[in-house]
Amino acid sequence: MGRRTRTTLTAAATAAALSAALAGPAAAAPPTGDHEATRRAVRAAVAEGVPGVSVTVRERGGGTWATTAGVGDLRTGEPRSTGDHYRIGSAAKTFIATVVLQLEAEGELSLDDTVEKWLPGMVHGHDHDGSRITIRQLLNHTSGVFDVLADETFQRTYMLEDGFLRHRFDTVTPRELVAMAMTHRRDFAPGTSWKYSNTNYILAALVIERITGRPYGEAVERRIIEPLKLTATSVPRTRTTVPQPSSRAYGKLARTPDGPTHDVTEFHPSFAYSGEMISDSADLNRFFSALLRGEVLAPRQLKEMRRTVPTTKKTERYGLGLRSYRLTCGRTVWGHGGDIHGSSSMAVTTRDGRHSLAVNFNGDWAGETKAVVEAEFCGR
């Protein structure tokens, strides 16, 4: 899921604090093996209110460095583990886009195919028209399709306290989620602007299912998880728990940051259809590193994935399920973030795939994962 469960007010305050902290002249990249700035950023996140942080870095020399701070269980005080499994939210979008691009390489579809071709009649109403939206526009968020996470009924039922606590183990189908989005007017005409929409990737997953005849998760497992030997990565389907080792996950489930803290570790992931995957930091580093090194996609498809469009942030651009982040020291890293109940994550790598980082917070209302990225790649 791409929309944070934390409040807009909290996110804005965090962004302002991060901007102030990063002001000043650009810093050179830290020398290989120097992670002191990353340690400080991890401790700072806990000081800001994150229960616990887990970070793993894949170094240019091939080694691995990892650290944690804070706790994995607020009740017992048990610390976080560098091997924790966690829900990765919208970082799953890169996996989905990768499968779509593999299918394109095999001639099963074209990025210029319309949504209507593969999902007839599904995208219509309130100016939505699937015959005018391409697969490419789904993957780079230029479709104009309304984001189901912005639907008030969705928020009351699956994101806010009373609804989530009552409905956390309910099942909702992807088609029901798309239908919910179709009750709203489209955001803009396809191809004329950019806006992040989780509905885009629900539709992309359904295109995979239409072509393969099986749940999209099976394609992710067969095409990515198994070949790369990602032993901690899974598509949970109906599983409501997170495999061990793992920490508890905590959320506020409120529109303001002042409410009680809830344990939101267990829930049925169907409402987060395109963001339901579970992984750990080592696996995410392996995946993004292999992807950017050309081990997962053919050269033409990887080039298409890295073909970016502007977003609402000057320092970020969006490709096909892949973001580029221009850091304050001038370096650019590639990857994706992910936010879902009780979990905020970010996984990035350099363009050559040789220096990677994955970070997870087991709380969704404080801290900023990009600050950890800045610390590792800019040395401050």
Q: pLDDT tens, 275-298? A: 999 999 999 999 999 999 999 999
Query: Which of these is catalytic: 54, 90, 289, 324?
Result: 90
pLDDT value at position 249?
Answer: 98
* Mean pLDDT in residue range 225-235: 98
pLDDT tens-digit map of 181-190: 999 999 999 9
pLDDT tens-digit map of 330-357: 999 999 999 999 999 999 999 999 999 9
Is 90 a residue of the active site?
yes
Architecture, CATH, for domain 8-378: 3-Layer(aba) Sandwich (3.40)
pLDDT at 263 over 60: yes
pLDDT value at position 323?
Answer: 98
Buried b (16+ CB within 10 A) or exposed e, 307-343: ebeebeeeeebbbbbbbbbebbbebebbbbbbbbbbb
Question: What phi, psi does 329 have (nearest 5°)?
Answer: -90, 5
- In the numeric block, the tokens 């905590």 are attached to 250
pLDDT value at position 258?
Answer: 79
**For residue 22, what pLDDT band results from cuts at 50, 70 and 90?**
very low
Contacts 24+ apart (CB under 8 A), 222-230: 223/98, 223/99, 223/102, 224/95, 224/98, 224/99, 224/287, 224/296, 227/296, 228/286, 228/287, 228/290, 228/295, 228/296, 229/286, 230/279, 230/283, 230/286, 230/287
pLDDT at 26 over 60: no
Contacts 24+ apart (CB under 8 A), 171-176: 171/238, 171/268, 171/270, 172/270, 172/271, 173/270, 174/202, 174/205, 174/206, 174/270, 174/273, 175/122, 175/206
Mean pLDDT of all residues belonging to the chain = 93
First to last CA, the chain: 29
**For residue 90, what pLDDT band results from cuts at 50, 70 and 90?**
very high
pLDDT value at position 259?
Answer: 86
pLDDT value at position 368?
Answer: 97
DSSP annotation of 363 reads B
Distances (CA, A) of 112 to 101, 136, 223, 302: 12, 6, 22, 16
* Mean pLDDT in residue range 46-65: 96
pLDDT at 24 over 70: no
pLDDT at 32 over 90: no
pLDDT at 20 over 50: no
Contacts 24+ apart (CB under 8 A), 220-228: 220/95, 220/96, 220/99, 220/277, 223/98, 223/99, 223/102, 224/95, 224/98, 224/99, 224/287, 224/296, 227/296, 228/286, 228/287, 228/290, 228/295, 228/296
pLDDT at 19 over 50: no
pLDDT value at position 8?
Answer: 30
pTM of the model: 0.92
Report d(CA 377, CA 370) in Å as an integer: 10
Give 179's contacts (C-beta < 8 A, 6+ positions apart). none
DSSP labels, 139-206: HTT-S-PPPGGG-HHHIIIIISHHHHHHHTT----HHHHHHHHTTS--SSSTTS-----HHHHHHHHH
pLDDT at 14 over 80: no
pLDDT value at position 28?
Answer: 46
**For residue 266, what pLDDT band results from cuts at 50, 70 and 90?**
very high
Around Cβ 189, how many Cβ atoms within 10 Å? 14
The answer to whether residues 251 and 51 touch, using CB atoms and an 8 Å cutoff, is no
pLDDT tens-digit map of 112-160: 999 999 999 999 999 999 999 999 999 999 999 999 999 999 999 999 9
